[in-house]
Structure 1
Amino acid sequence: MSEISLVVRPRGRPIKNLPETITVNPEDDAAQIHKKIADASKFSIHRLRVTKGSDGTPIANTKDTTVHATGLRNKSAIDVKDLGPQIPWRTVFVIEYLGPLLLHPLVYYGRPLIYGTSQPPSQLQTITLIMCFLHFLKREYETLFVHRFSAATMPVFNIFKNSAHYWLLAGINVAFWCYAPWAPTAGPSNPLITYTGITLFATGELLNFYTHIVLRDLRRPGTTERGIPQGIGFSLVTCPNYFFEIVAWIGVALVSRSFSTVLFLAVAAGQMAPWGQKKERRYRKEFGDKYKKKRYAIFPGII
């Protein structure tokens, strides 16, 4: 096929050097549209959102779809929006989890300065520290070596919003109330409750890691294409990774006996619920009859 010309229109804030038209071959992959606009405007390819002018349908930056398959024809219009400064998703996750990873030991070992006490931490406070530290250390490991991200970047501003959840709720909130000399964790432990909490935590963390490996292996490196997830937990809920994370934090809550831990768990579950429901809708649409529909998104019998 001969080359076609596409009319390029800015959407929202002006984009300096945005070309009025670009020419592409219909058999080129759709990523060429993004590349030509980025090269001409001198913008990062991840900062631009390209949609069809006719109906606003996003044009994916992918090599799996041709220009012709997107429905674009000669003289078709495409709209380009500047998404603003971007930051890699992996960097955002590392920064998010770094907060509680640093704050828990800081508060635990800084008890004399923070609370004015010479009393040593209790056994429950030490166990709580170990559980929280291991959880976020695992998160960092998964971010660096396990997860594959479908989107390369996100707006820079989102890092403050996303980090607040972990730095404030999981970090300062949980650490301050759990390591205080007046906290429930400062008192004697109930062995049955403590060992139950440790068991739930260890089981939840191991199975959560297992589900992340399963999800990673469903996506080929360098692509966003996924298969249907199968394995432990996937027959019960849409997102067993969320389910097992909740199980792990129920374990932390049993050991810490702190409302601050319950608050973080409740907020986290409230955030994960719509994510799980959205993923269930996506699976049903993407895989059709091949996918076994789930009644619950993240927690059997509840959500």
Structure 2
Amino acid sequence: MKLTIVSRNPKSTKFPVTLELAGTASTIKTSDVNKALAAKFPKYYPDRQRLTTEDKKVLDLDKTLEEQGINEQSSIYFKDLGAQIGWRTVFMIEYAGPILIHPIFYYLSKFIYGSSFTHSPMQTVTYYMVMAHFFKRELETVFVHRFSHGTMPFRNVFKNSAHYWLLSGANLAFWVYGPWFAQGRAAAVRNDVWIYGSVAVWAWAELSNLITHITLRNLRPPGTRVRAIPYGYGFDLVSCPNYFFEFLAWTVVCFLTTSWSAFLFNIVATGQMYVWAVKKHKNYKKEFKDYPRNRTSMFPFIA
């Protein structure tokens, strides 16, 4: 079968190009076209390609050309997505920021703030909560998460990392570990109920978040892009309980520290997670006709 590949870039000198593939439209999948194009132009490895129809509908890698209305008279349109980086690597880089930054502000406070002081119990508890949270995220990235999309454009890693390195890294650490919350300051006073209650709720939220991540992992067999309806703990109420429990964990940090920097990070993070949750919720309902109607996107009974 012969296929014409046209570039979305009008300045391209390499395209259009004709590819010859063994088989017919009923047997050739989009992934086969990816591989054939990569064989002709090694620079455009499969993860770097976006193949679409003329009306910009993205072709499904696992479907045959015939299933998507493609035949020998059709043209497939190609877009170069640029140099790619694996999502697993992206997450590792993002979460490494707070892990590196918080110890600097906590242990080198004398040099950063210009005076010696003793950290209050609130500061110490917050430090260990933040560190535990991001170490958990790193471990989940390595051992739990399975990604439906293998890569993303390399240039985006800087934008994605800024959220964690700046907001939950430098900004949060600077304002929470400063002398204004030091031992003996009125702003740092927390009774035992406040501290231990915060730790208990935070631990429950973090554990719940892990459980939902494991549920999502078990939906997708290794090496596949299989999608299914998640059920179980948290999923009976919302489509994205992992985001909801993440929101609760950071809300605990907000009310434990009472720092505006914690509230700022939580507001920004929750806003982004809500956008993702709404999108996933809509996709679930569109893809699965029997999707439970009682679920909301992220917040139980609300939205």
**TM-score computed with the length of structure 2 as normaliser:** 0.93
Unaligned runs of 5+ in 2: none
Partner of 1:129: 127
Asked if 1 retains the 8 angstrom alpha-carbon contact of 2:126 and 2:257, the reply is yes
The 1-side partners of 2:216 and 2:103 are apart by 31
* 2:221 match: secondary structure: coil
The 1-side partners of 2:250 and 2:138 are apart by 17
* 1:49 match: secondary structure: strand
Asked if 1 retains the 8 angstrom alpha-carbon contact of 2:120 and 2:181, the reply is no
Asked if 2 retains the 8 angstrom alpha-carbon contact of 1:87 and 1:156, the reply is yes
Q: State which of 100, 115, 118 in structure 2 corresponds to 1:117.
A: 115
* 2:5 match: secondary structure: strand
String of CA shifts for 1:144-194, please: whole Å, max 9, x gaps.
111011111111111111001000000011100000011378522122222
Larger mean CA deviation between 73-82 and 17-26 belongs to 17-26
The 2-side partners of 1:7 and 1:193 are apart by 66
- Which residue identity does 1:168 align to in structure 2? L
Question: Quick one: structure 1 residues 180 and 189, their matched pair in 2 at CA, closer, same or farther if it must change by over 3 Å?
Answer: same
The 2-side partners of 1:88 and 1:18 are apart by 27
* 2:180 match: secondary structure: coil
The 2-side partners of 1:30 and 1:93 are apart by 28
Partner of 1:73: 71
Asked if 2 retains the 8 angstrom alpha-carbon contact of 1:146 and 1:212, the reply is yes
Asked if 2 retains the 8 angstrom alpha-carbon contact of 1:97 and 1:139, the reply is yes
String of CA shifts for 1:14-67, please: whole Å, max 9, x gaps.
5565561112322122210111111111121111111112x32211233xx222
Partner of 1:35: 35
Asked if 2 retains the 8 angstrom alpha-carbon contact of 1:184 and 1:257, the reply is no
The 1-side partners of 2:39 and 2:224 are apart by 22
Unaligned runs of 5+ in 1: none
- Which residue identity does 1:59 align to in structure 2? L
* 2:50 match: secondary structure: strand
Partner of 1:182: 180
RMSD: 1.6
* 1:236 match: secondary structure: coil
Residue 93 (1) aligns with residue 91 (2): yes
- Which residue identity does 2:298 align to in structure 1? I
Partner of 1:243: 244
Question: Quick one: structure 1 residues 6 and 12, their matched pair in 2 at CA, closer, same or farther if it must change by over 3 Å?
Answer: same
The 2-side partners of 1:171 and 1:243 are apart by 21
- Which residue identity does 1:31 align to in structure 2? S
- Which residue identity does 2:122 align to in structure 1? L
Asked if 2 retains the 8 angstrom alpha-carbon contact of 1:5 and 1:23, the reply is yes
Q: State which of 19, 22, 28 in structure 2 corresponds to 1:22.
A: 19
Question: Quick one: structure 1 residues 301 and 263, their matched pair in 2 at CA, closer, same or farther if it must change by over 3 Å?
Answer: farther
Partner of 1:59: 59
* 2:179 match: secondary structure: coil
Question: Quick one: structure 1 residues 94 and 16, their matched pair in 2 at CA, closer, same or farther if it must change by over 3 Å?
Answer: farther
Asked if 1 retains the 8 angstrom alpha-carbon contact of 2:119 and 2:182, the reply is no
**TM-score computed with the length of structure 1 as normaliser:** 0.93
The 2-side partners of 1:9 and 1:29 are apart by 18
Q: State which of 167, 172, 183 in structure 1 corresponds to 2:170.
A: 172
**Count of aligned positions:** 296
Asked if 1 retains the 8 angstrom alpha-carbon contact of 2:237 and 2:301, the reply is no
Question: Quick one: structure 1 residues 240 and 120, their matched pair in 2 at CA, closer, same or farther if it must change by over 3 Å?
Answer: same
Larger mean CA deviation between 26-35 and 128-137 belongs to 26-35
Partner of 2:199: 198
The 2-side partners of 1:59 and 1:15 are apart by 21
* 2:288 match: secondary structure: helix
Asked if 1 retains the 8 angstrom alpha-carbon contact of 2:106 and 2:177, the reply is yes
Question: Quick one: structure 1 residues 179 and 171, their matched pair in 2 at CA, closer, same or farther if it must change by over 3 Å?
Answer: same
- Give the drift of 1:206: 0.1
The 2-side partners of 1:204 and 1:298 are apart by 14
